[in-house]
């Protein structure tokens, strides 16, 4: 049920279908790949939605393109500003270059993925470092947006953004209509919310299960309690999952549509990164590997079912990948 503190979701299946028409001119669908080895290991039919093959290596580009394509001329002229640990920033930088819109991204000064920073700058965004984590960077970004007159693009409380990322759920349902379970990582929640908007209409019998790191359980606790309160713990090394402040729009949709929400350890996520390389020949960042970590944790519950793990992104620095593989 939705939280009492938030209104019903303004998003619908029609919004997601409209988003697909918008982004189809710029982005191709990503493959849904069946892994025989992981299916045998898990005791289910395990499919992987390969959002790591997007132009920026992550699913969020769908939302960035959908949103920027529909900005007014005044908003485009003012330029965009956002806070990001990487993939949201890359998506806006990509869309900004596509449509000729200047983009400024605030990133944490500490524990930021250097590969994602380089990618944002390579795509033409101005990158500004501020604060210890995503939420401190976000607070500075919001103040700067008001001061300089930018169009601020929130990483989750943007209906056009969530509708855009929801297009991957349309592709899943069309490619695999018999899907029973979708495992989706949660940071800000746009990916899980987009899944929910689509699945509740087209595949209401399917379970959507959110996944977050136990070292950064802010969204999990908000989903469990219904309280949009900052969480004191945010220690995950996997930046795509590391948010301590839940967001109203995505949380309201997730509380309406998620069948469950589970926590996995950072260590289990690293194991899943390694397993995806070894058994599926796919590179995933931590958030992208979290669904497989959850599938391993929920193996008995998933037995015999048709399961999709959303590999949300593959932007893992090669040094970190080498460290994970060596540890195995």
Pairing of strands 32-34, 45-50: antiparallel
pLDDT for position 4: 39
pLDDT for position 218: 94
- Mean per-residue pLDDT for 22-28? 97
**Could you count the other beta carbons within 10 Å of the beta carbon of residue 155?**
27
**For the chain, what's the residue count?**
328
Residue bearing the bigger pLDDT, 52 or 131? 52
Model-level pTM greater than 0.85?
yes
- Mean per-residue pLDDT for 27-42? 98
- Mean per-residue pLDDT for 107-127? 88
| Contacts with 148 (C-beta within 8 Å, 6 or more apart), sequence order | 81
Residue 6 reports pLDDT greater than 60: no
Domain boundaries, the chain: 13-57+160-327, 61-156
* Residue 115: band (very low, low, confident or very high) from pLDDT cuts 50, 70, 90: confident
Residue 5 reports pLDDT greater than 50: no
Rounded to whole angstroms, the Cα distance separating 172 from 223 reads: 24
Map residue 111 onto helix, strand or coil.
Answer: coil
- Mean per-residue pLDDT for 6-11? 61
Q: What tokens appear for 259 in the block?
A: 């069948």
Query: Does the domain made of 61-156 have the CATH classification 3.10.580.10?
Result: no
Pairing of strands 181-185, 151-152: unpaired
> Do 85 and 135 contact (CB within 8 A), yes or no?
no
> Which string of DSSP letters, residue by residue, matches 47-85?
EEEEGGGSTTSBTTHHHHHHHHHT--HHHHHH-EEEE-S
Whole-number average pLDDT of the chain: 93
Q: What is the pLDDT of residues 135-152, one digit of tens each?
A: 788 888 988 888 889 999
**Could you count the other beta carbons within 10 Å of the beta carbon of residue 13?**
17
- Mean per-residue pLDDT for 76-98? 93
- Mean per-residue pLDDT for 48-59? 97
* Residue 132: band (very low, low, confident or very high) from pLDDT cuts 50, 70, 90: confident
Q: Is the dihedral of CA 263, 268, 273, 278 positive or negative?
A: negative
pLDDT for position 41: 98
* Residue 9: band (very low, low, confident or very high) from pLDDT cuts 50, 70, 90: low
Rounded to whole angstroms, the Cα distance separating 104 from 127 reads: 6
Q: What is the pLDDT of residues 156-196, one digit of tens each?
A: 999 999 999 999 999 999 999 999 999 999 999 999 999 99
CATH topology agreement for domains 13-57+160-327 and 61-156? yes
- Mean per-residue pLDDT for 209-234? 93
Map residue 260 onto helix, strand or coil.
Answer: strand
The maximal CA–CA distance of the chain, rounded, in angstroms, is 55
Q: Which CATH architecture has domain 13-57+160-327?
A: 3-Layer(aba) Sandwich (3.40)
Helices H / strands E in the chain, number of each? 16, 10
> Do 288 and 312 contact (CB within 8 A), yes or no?
yes
């Amino acid at each position: 049920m939705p939280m009492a503190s938030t209104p019903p979701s303004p998003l619908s299946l029609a919004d997601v279908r409209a988003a697909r028409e918008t982004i189809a001119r710029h982005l191709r669908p990503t493959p849904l790949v069946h892994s025989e080895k992981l299916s045998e290991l898990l005791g289910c039919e395990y499919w992987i939605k390969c959002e790591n093959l997007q132009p920026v290596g992550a699913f969020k580009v769908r939302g960035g393109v959908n949103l920027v394509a529909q900005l007014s001329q005044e908003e485009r002229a003012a330029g965009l500003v956002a806070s990001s640990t990487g993939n949201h920033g890359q998506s806006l930088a990509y869309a900004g270059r596509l449509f000729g819109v200047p983009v400024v991204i605030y990133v944490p000064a500490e524990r930021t993925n250097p590969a994602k920073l380089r990618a944002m700058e390579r795509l033409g965004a101005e990158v500004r470092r501020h604060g210890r984590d995503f939420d401190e960077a976000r607070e500075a970004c919001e103040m700067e947006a008001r001061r300089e007159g930018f169009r601020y693009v929130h990483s989750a409380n943007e209906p056009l953004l969530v509708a855009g990322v929801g297009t991957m759920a349309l592709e899943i349902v069309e490619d695999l209509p018999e899907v029973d379970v979708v495992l989706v990582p949660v940071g800000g929640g746009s990916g899980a919310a987009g899944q929910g908007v689509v699945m509740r209409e087209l595949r209401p019998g399917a379970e959507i299960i959110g996944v977050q790191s136990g070292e950064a359980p802010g969204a999990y606790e908000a989903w469990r309690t219904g309280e949009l309160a900052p969480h004191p713990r945010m220690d995950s090394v996997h930046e795509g999952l590391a948010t301590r402040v839940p967001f109203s729009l995505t949380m309201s949709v997730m509380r309406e549509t998620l069948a469950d929400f589970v926590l996995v350890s950072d260590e289990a996520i690293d194991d899943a990164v390694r397993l995806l390389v070894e058994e599926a020949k796919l590179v995933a960042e931590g958030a992208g590997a979290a669904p497989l970590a959850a599938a391993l944790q929920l193996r008995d519950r998933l037995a015999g079912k048709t399961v999709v793990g959303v590999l949300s992104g593959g932007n893992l620095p090669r040094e970190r990948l080498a460290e994970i593989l060596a540890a195995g």
